A and B are shown apart, each in its own frame.
Chain A
């Protein structure tokens, strides 16, 4: 075998070696907790995991996305210990355990220059179903409303359909963006746009609209006056092992809940 053969063979050998899976025994006996599911819950879980791992050096928490449905499926298949869901379980999934970690308000947002600060739930329904299509109908300028929604299958869209649309379909002419961030970006740049995003992501670039006279805030969600709220859930298959349950305990502790609160979510201790 000359050098030239090795040039050809080496990549092959390397490719073969890389096919064998990663080995599980890490030095120092670390406990790995795998979590997967809703991309709405994922950033908050990641934040919690970071803080948790600072104090618990022997834990490695692996947080993945995939969406609520995929996360729940992974729990059923026992491929992950914890699933994240931003929607209540469906009938077929009822046998799983759920742990509510916090609540998230869905907020209807407009451009900061938009003078409309309050809408009825029914008006919002009519805007997104295409029945109200001009800002003049709501007492502003004669200009088409640029409604922005989320894509089919998104947890935020699912919650919005359940809590706001009440059976009415979102109009086909509505623009669609594939993340809370993109919806916010469109609303922040287009003065005539209206969209809906997680309350945790509202900042100065967009303005939340009061619904039926109630402005979205942690207080109004806690008191139950602001109605467009969804739970963020952890889903488990049966009782948790002691290792993953230590993370869940942390999330439900004062400290964990304070982290969620700082992110704009509504926890249990307020």
Chain B
């Protein structure tokens, strides 16, 4: 009887272990698959010609994705310029000023914002932001600034929730100590709480960047997808993700491999960002 119970326990445990490891397996398989499809072209054409190449015309043998790497970074930084101040302010309000009721209203609202599909953001961008930019700032409206605005809103939930966690995890004694020294609430926030939560806040920005750089649908709809590096905020541009999604439908042969190479570069960038963000969070916990 005891043997059977023990056996059952073991069985359940190993089944759960197998399921738990399957997520790791999926990650590993995706990794292998993208590398297997993307690396051959790097070997054939040359890493330099792909990463620093200025011309993308895969059906004519040009696989340069440098303009897209730059464009991806530009929209990401743009999104951060829009989203970081908004998100951080919201997180500070939520953790330091908001009463129970305001919190109960704001937190689910932010979670809802995170759940809105990106195609909806893209659609709203095309219908409202693009014409606004075209009419008041010029250009076609399909531009760096429109994309940054929309992405800035899309990364808000990431920035708010992670910054909020960092801010509320600052020990109460810090606040009390600061108040005891005669500091006002705002002085306490910007002299004590923000510096203490700094690494967590930075991590939220970097994870927000990761979200922005990986965003595809909304970007394709708003960015205009031109292949040149934009010279003004009103120029259209194409990101790495946009390139893959735009051209996958018809791509065959080397063209298809070129899109996988784009995926390899994208994966590396996102891995680096995640590594930095995790490093930041770990330091916060160590403190």
Partners in one complex: yes
How near does chain A come to B45, taking the closest CB pair, in angstroms?
16
Q: Does A123 contact B (CB under 8 A)?
A: no
A residues less than 8 Å from B56 (CB atoms): 152, 172
Query: Are A151 and B246 in contact, CB atoms less than 8 angstroms apart?
Result: yes
Query: Are A189 and B236 in contact, CB atoms less than 8 angstroms apart?
Result: no
State A67–B130 Cα separation when bound (angstroms): 30
Query: Are A178 and B226 in contact, CB atoms less than 8 angstroms apart?
Result: no
How near does chain B come to A97, taking the closest CB pair, in angstroms?
21
Q: Does A175 contact B (CB under 8 A)?
A: yes
Contact with B along A1-21 (1 / 0, CB 8 A): 000000010000000000000
Q: Does A192 contact B (CB under 8 A)?
A: yes
B residues less than 8 Å from A177 (CB atoms): 225
Query: Are A190 and B59 in contact, CB atoms less than 8 angstroms apart?
Result: no
Of A67, A152, A178, chain B has the most CB atoms within 10 Å of the CB of A152
> Given the interface contacts A176-B238, A177-B225, does A146 sit within 8 Å of B55 by beta carbon?
no
Contact with B along A29-44 (1 / 0, CB 8 A): 0000000000100000
Q: Number of A residues whose C-beta is below 8 Å from B?
A: 30
Query: Are A190 and B57 in contact, CB atoms less than 8 angstroms apart?
Result: no
Q: Does A236 contact B (CB under 8 A)?
A: no
A residues less than 8 Å from B247 (CB atoms): 151-153, 178
How near does chain A come to B13, taking the closest CB pair, in angstroms?
12
State A169–B62 Cα separation when bound (angstroms): 13
A residues less than 8 Å from B40 (CB atoms): none
> Given the interface contacts A69-B250, A151-B250, A152-B59, does A186 sit within 8 Å of B142 by beta carbon?
yes
Contact with B along A167-194 (1 / 0, CB 8 A): 0010011111110000001100110110
> Given the interface contacts A153-B247, A155-B250, A190-B134, does A176 sit within 8 Å of B140 by beta carbon?
no
Q: Does B89 contact A (CB under 8 A)?
A: no
A residues less than 8 Å from B131 (CB atoms): 189
| Extra A-B contacts (17), CB below 8 Å, given A153-B255, A175-B142, A189-B131 | A39-B250, A67-B249, A70-B252, A144-B140, A146-B139, A146-B140, A152-B59, A152-B255, A153-B59, A153-B250, A173-B235, A174-B226, A175-B140, A175-B224, A176-B224, A176-B238, A178-B225
Q: Of B57, B67, B140, B249, which is within 8 A of A193 by CB? A: B140
Q: Does A198 contact B (CB under 8 A)?
A: no
Q: Does A114 contact B (CB under 8 A)?
A: no
Closest A residue to B243 by beta carbon equals A151
Q: Of B57, B225, B246, B252, which is within 8 A of A169 by CB? A: B57
Q: Does A45 contact B (CB under 8 A)?
A: no
Query: Are A176 and B227 in contact, CB atoms less than 8 angstroms apart?
Result: yes
Q: Number of B residues whose C-beta is below 8 Å from A?
A: 32
> Given the interface contacts A152-B247, A186-B142, does A176 sit within 8 Å of B58 by beta carbon?
no
Query: Are B220 and A172 in contact, CB atoms less than 8 angstroms apart?
Result: no
Q: Does B141 contact A (CB under 8 A)?
A: yes
Closest B residue to A145 by beta carbon equals B140
Give the interface of A toward B (CB within 8 A). Answer: 8, 39, 65-70, 73, 144, 146, 151-155, 169, 172-178, 185-186, 189-190, 192-193
> Given the interface contacts A146-B140, A152-B57, does A39 sit within 8 Å of B249 by beta carbon?
yes
Query: Are B249 and A176 in contact, CB atoms less than 8 angstroms apart?
Result: no
State A47–B245 Cα separation when bound (angstroms): 27
Query: Are A173 and B228 in contact, CB atoms less than 8 angstroms apart?
Result: yes
Closest A residue to B225 by beta carbon equals A176
Give the interface of B toward A (CB within 8 A). Answer: 15, 55-59, 67, 126, 130-131, 134, 139-142, 220, 224-228, 235-236, 238, 245-247, 249-252, 255
Closest B residue to A154 by beta carbon equals B250
Query: Are B228 and A190 in contact, CB atoms less than 8 angstroms apart?
Result: no
Closest A residue to B227 by beta carbon equals A172
Query: Are B252 and A73 in contact, CB atoms less than 8 angstroms apart?
Result: yes
> Given the interface contacts A8-B15, A172-B226, A173-B228, does A65 sit within 8 Å of B140 by beta carbon?
no
How near does chain A come to B252, taking the closest CB pair, in angstroms?
5
State A164–B63 Cα separation when bound (angstroms): 24
How near does chain A come to B58, taking the closest CB pair, in angstroms?
6
Closest B residue to A38 by beta carbon equals B250
Q: Of B134, B225, B252, which is within 8 A of A175 by CB? A: B225
Closest B residue to A4 by beta carbon equals B12
B residues less than 8 Å from A186 (CB atoms): 140, 142
Of B59, B245, B249, chain A has the most CB atoms within 10 Å of the CB of B249
State A8–B11 Cα separation when bound (angstroms): 11
How near does chain B come to A228, taking the closest CB pair, in angstroms?
20
A residues less than 8 Å from B249 (CB atoms): 39, 65-67, 153, 178
Closest B residue to A73 by beta carbon equals B252
State A8–B17 Cα separation when bound (angstroms): 13
Closest B residue to A143 by beta carbon equals B138
